[in-house]
Chains A and B, each alone.
Chain A
Amino acid sequence: MAWSQGESSAPSLFGVTDATNALDTVRSVWNAEFTVYVEVLTAWCTAMRAAGAAYQHADTEASSRTVATVRVRAE
């Protein structure tokens, strides 16, 4: 099972409402906490993708340099 599975714990897990509520709060706030971390990391990934897209252009340049190098060698 996942630590955050389900919106709330089964009442039979503790049989005590207060304990059930306390665990639900832990799940809820930590789900929200990881969502914040994910948002930060998603922004970082977006920047990485943007950098990756720019790199394709650099790659093209690199491959054209390789052709030139081959030409030089052939000569």
Chain B
Amino acid sequence: MTSTDYRQITVAVHRLEQAADEVLRLTDPITAPAEVERIVETIIDLVDGDIPGDVGGLDAHSTAFATMATNVGDVYADLSAISVSVPRTWSGEAATNAVAALQSTEQLLVAARGALYEAAGHLDAYAGALPGLRADLAASQGLINRGWHELAEGIGEALVSEFVALWHGHRAFVDGVDDIVRGLLGAAAVYRRWAGAVDTLRRGLDDVAGDARAQAATGGGLDAFTAVRLADTGLDPAGIGTDDGILTVAQLTRAGGVLGALSTADRKTMDALLGSASSDVARAYLLKALIAGDSVAAIALFAKSIGGKSDDWLRSHLTIANPDQPGALVIDGQIVAQQDETTCGSMSIIMARAMNDPIYAMTLTDQPGTSLTDMLRQEEQRVHDETNTLWPQQLGTTPWGLTNVLNANSGELGTSYGWHLVDDTDAGSVGPALTGAVAAVDAGYPVPVLIGDGVPRHYVLLIAHDGDTLTFYNPSGAIEQVSEADFLNGNVGALGYAHVQAVITPK
């Protein structure tokens, strides 16, 4: 089989199931072989083909990634020994920056080693799945072949005598149809499993690609030293991966362009603010605000407000939802949750915005004289009025209402969104939905997900993805995790309701 598009695999499943349905509807033993031949002819590329892929080549690639990971580990060990100082020819602030850049590079190498091992693992797993798929497809093809011969023999026997025609012919017809249908459905199941394996591989590779953070920043125009420091800021070596950085990959990509587009005066002010920030974390939040579209004047006020705050304070009050800390989400003793039962959609929008714009986040978490709970109540109501211009507020937020409000803030979020209904009883629907959602969150865009039972009930916000773990902010007031398998199998009850019904992903 030549190289094919992923969509063709799902089409193949549909064609095989349709063919099985047609064979089941055959009633005349005499014309059955010709009919089966006609039906099989339409799907000959599938029943005669094989699952493509070069197992040896995939193994070699997997080994190469694992070798590179080991080499990166060696570089990390060497760098650990030298990154505490720089030569004396490098002095003053430049030396401090150089040491910081070396230490950031050292930390990024830890993430790089993990990512390369992860890539090796995904390739290895995919290569390991191919022989089983091929064997099962061959078995299904054998059944189809046997069934066709049974039908053909049935005709031959029917010609011997009327009795044989009634007895043997009928039995051959039943056996033949049974084998062919089992063969076609078996082949469809193999193609479905193959689609699942390709999906898993793509999600895994997207995750690995999303871990390369520094190149996103240099790609946007920042120099290498600034890039590694920004890319590393906020990463927790013991955390879930690289989805916990202060700046997302999407924001790192935009940083250089946004700085470059400032007027000379604004650039001078911004450079001064960045230069006088108390830590890399504070500096990253100033830049994050600029990328979100806040004015330099607003950022100057913001810089003043966060002056003297610890990195932990900044992290909890400006990003709010930390994917590294599953459990109740509490700030200053107050739970960060929806304030009434119809505002989960509003709260998902608020959190998506807060994760992108630290100044917006701070208006909620640090408002003198007003509690976080009161601020959330006011903001939720304001957002709910925006999302539900026609739809009754008691019925919650519609996917299109939520999408419209996200798109009204596309500058801040860095993208516009579209909504997609999902049927999680259909692998052809939920698989691509998960792949799209994961690709978005790996690139740094939070993804609202509508879940429910018989009907849509509740929104949650996908905020991180690492390996096969999906991390959500649940507007009930917690950071919660479910596996990709649970998402695919209609088993996300841990989030409140079992079934995924829609995703709102970047266009």
Sampled A-B contacts (10; CB under 8 Å): A4-B68, A13-B53, A15-B3, A19-B126, A29-B215, A30-B116, A32-B219, A34-B112, A36-B215, A40-B105
A15-56 near B? 1/0 per residue, CB < 8 Å: 111111011011001101111110111011001101100100
A30 to B67, CA, bound (A): 14
Q: Which of B82-90, B147-155, B182-190 contacts A (4 or more CB under 8 A)?
A: B82-90
CB pair B6–A30 under 8 Å, yes or no, is no
A20 neighbours in B (Cβ, 8 Å): 3
Residues of B within 8 A of A (CB): 1-6, 9, 51-54, 57-58, 60-61, 64-65, 67-68, 79, 82, 86-90, 98, 101-102, 105, 108-109, 112, 115-116, 119, 123, 126, 198, 201-202, 205-206, 208-209, 212-219, 224-225, 227-228
CB pair A15–B212 under 8 Å, yes or no, is no
CB pair A37–B214 under 8 Å, yes or no, is yes
Residues of A within 8 A of B (CB): 1-5, 9-20, 22-23, 25-26, 29-30, 32-37, 39-41, 43-44, 47-48, 50-51, 54
CB pair A32–B215 under 8 Å, yes or no, is yes
B225 neighbours in A (Cβ, 8 Å): 40, 43
A4 to B67, CA, bound (A): 12
A23 neighbours in B (Cβ, 8 Å): 61, 123, 205
CB pair B86–A47 under 8 Å, yes or no, is yes
A23 to B375, CA, bound (A): 45
CB pair A29–B209 under 8 Å, yes or no, is yes
Q: Given A12-B3, A50-B89, do A32 and B212 touch, yes or no (CB 8 Å)?
A: yes
Q: Given A12-B52, A12-B54, do A41 and B105 touch, yes or no (CB 8 Å)?
A: yes
A18 neighbours in B (Cβ, 8 Å): 5-6, 198, 202
B88 neighbours in A (Cβ, 8 Å): 51
CB pair B109–A13 under 8 Å, yes or no, is no
A20 to chain B, nearest CB (A): 7
Which of B3, B206, B227 is in CB contact (< 8 Å) with A17? B3
A40 to B1, CA, bound (A): 45
CB pair A51–B87 under 8 Å, yes or no, is yes
CB pair B4–A17 under 8 Å, yes or no, is yes
B345 to chain A, nearest CB (A): 32
Which of B64, B202, B227 is in CB contact (< 8 Å) with A1? B64
Which partner residue on chain B sits nearest A37 by CB separation?
B105
CB pair B89–A51 under 8 Å, yes or no, is yes
CB pair A3–B224 under 8 Å, yes or no, is no
Q: Given A16-B6, A17-B5, A20-B3, do A47 and B208 touch, yes or no (CB 8 Å)?
A: no
A19 neighbours in B (Cβ, 8 Å): 6, 126, 198, 201-202, 205
Residue among A14, A36, A43, A44 with most chain B CB within 10 A: A36
A38 to B205, CA, bound (A): 23
Given A15-B51, A33-B215, A50-B87, 9 more contacts at CB 8 Å?
A2-B68, A3-B68, A19-B201, A26-B208, A30-B115, A30-B116, A37-B109, A39-B224, A47-B87
A1 neighbours in B (Cβ, 8 Å): 60-61, 64
Q: Given A13-B57, A16-B198, do A26 and B227 touch, yes or no (CB 8 Å)?
A: no
CB pair B87–A11 under 8 Å, yes or no, is no
A12 neighbours in B (Cβ, 8 Å): 3, 52-54, 57
B51 neighbours in A (Cβ, 8 Å): 15
Which partner residue on chain A sits nearest B1 by CB separation?
A15
A2 neighbours in B (Cβ, 8 Å): 64, 68
Which partner residue on chain A sits nearest B194 by CB separation?
A16
Which partner residue on chain B sits nearest A22 by CB separation?
B205
A12 to B208, CA, bound (A): 22
A37 neighbours in B (Cβ, 8 Å): 105, 108-109, 112, 214, 228
A35 neighbours in B (Cβ, 8 Å): 215
A16 neighbours in B (Cβ, 8 Å): 3-6, 9, 52-53, 198
A16 to B166, CA, bound (A): 48
A5 neighbours in B (Cβ, 8 Å): 64
A67 to B358, CA, bound (A): 65
Minimum-distance CB pairs A-B, first 5: A15-B52, A51-B87, A32-B215, A39-B224, A11-B3
A37 to B83, CA, bound (A): 13
CB pair B58–A13 under 8 Å, yes or no, is yes
